[in-house]
Amino acid sequence: MFWYVNSNQGIDTRDGRSLDTAFRRILHAIHVAGPEDTIIIVPGVYDQDLAKRIGEARSGGVSVTVAGSETPT
């Protein structure tokens, strides 16, 4: 499953399953994502410690990529 995060237009009460319904916070996406899911981050300004949050997601088996890139990381 894919989860979208957009710091500019996202809202954490949305479902996070498309660019139009993206979450605002990466931490929120991490809490709902499961192993083998992918979090897609829209470029923007994030208040959270981005590197730490991405590391947390990856340690749980979640892939993280930036919107527009070709290969999830």
Q: Does a structural domain hold residue 73?
A: no
Range of the domain at 41: 2-66
- Encode pLDDT of 19-68 as tens digits: 999 999 999 999 999 999 999 999 999 876 888 989 999 999 999 999 87
Q: How many domains does the chain have?
A: 1
What tokens appear for 71 in the block?
Answer: 């290969």
Q: Does a structural domain hold residue 9?
A: yes
pTM: 0.87
What single string gives the DSSP state of each residue in 9-44? T--TTS--SSSTT-BS-HHHHHHH--TT-EEEEPSS
Phi, psi of 2 (to 5 degrees): -105, 140
Are 36 and 73 in contact by the 8 Å Cβ rule? The answer is no
Are 66 and 43 in contact by the 8 Å Cβ rule? The answer is yes
**64: helix, strand or coil:** strand
